[in-house]
Amino acid sequence: MPGAAPPAVSPPRARPVADEAGDVAAPMIAARGLRKSYDGRLDILKGVDLAVSPGERVALIGANGCGKSTLLKCLIALHGISGGSLSTMGRDLSRPVGPEVQRQVRRQTGFVFQKHCLVRRRTVLSNVVHGFFGEAGSWRAFSHNLAPAGWREAAMESLAEVRLAERALARADSLSGGQQQRVAIARALVRRPRLLIADEPAASLDPVSGRNVMELFTRLCATHGITLLFTSHDMAHALGHASRVVALKQGRVLFDKPPSQVTPADLKETFDD
């Protein structure tokens, strides 16, 4: 029926992952029946089920307005939820939480956005050091000149991983768009977060730069065992860099499956009105 809501699907259970001691790790994210509305009237998320295990790479796809960005914000306590249950990194976010729990979640989460949000007139190194905001004494992250030596060393190591160490003292606005997004990746990874959230990280780049950026940050997440959750309108990125693809439609999960099982019919249903 035209306009009918897509059927809800049962999510796969988060696959258990053993840590170095052999113990089974808890899910990184566990959402059940998650709902989000604004002013009690505008329903954005209408019962989302999602389970993500440590180390997974999950792509969220869907048309504009389907709830992808809202879901990401709920998962990391930027927005409270209106119903259902939610746990992120073992912290219960089902009810309103205080600023300390919010800080605990965000300290262990890295962020990469479509717009890199660099401070253009500061050095590349200072921008990466900004990734330490939220730590004790984080005012020192305002500039690499004020930062503790350990932070500067970590920032240089992170820049080396994105192949920009030689530009550390250059101004951020002297870099190309692709290079600036690589700096944003270095900033997101400098604290070695457990979870990386990337909202359309390659959307503002040309095809070659976008592909390079996607390959870079998925490789670095795999190297460091970081769980990755990203949104993308580019199906080559979603299918080529994720271990799972989750499609949202009208605030509900339409399907949740490995990229190899996603069909053209699935994508048509996802993006058709």
- What's residue 239's pLDDT? 95
- d(C-alpha 214, C-alpha 131), whole Å: 20
CA 183 to chain centre: 16
Q: Decide: pTM greater than 0.85.
A: no
Report which DSSP code applies to 193: -
**CB of 103 closer than 8 Å to CB of 133:** no
Which string of DSSP letters, residue by residue, matches 209-223? HHHHHHHHHHHHHHH
- d(C-alpha 129, C-alpha 191), whole Å: 10
What is the sign of the dihedral through the CA atoms of 104, 108, 113 and 119?
positive
Instruction: Tell me the pLDDT tens digit for each residue of 56-67.
Output: 999 999 999 899
Instruction: Tell me the pLDDT tens digit for each residue of 214-255.
Output: 888 888 899 999 999 999 999 999 999 999 999 999 999 999
Confidence of residue 142 (pLDDT cuts 50, 70, 90): low
- What's residue 48's pLDDT? 96
**CB of 60 closer than 8 Å to CB of 120:** no
Strands 83-88, 29-38: pairing is antiparallel
Instruction: Tell me the pLDDT tens digit for each residue of 151-207.
Output: 889 999 999 999 999 999 999 999 998 899 899 999 999 989 999 999 888 887 888
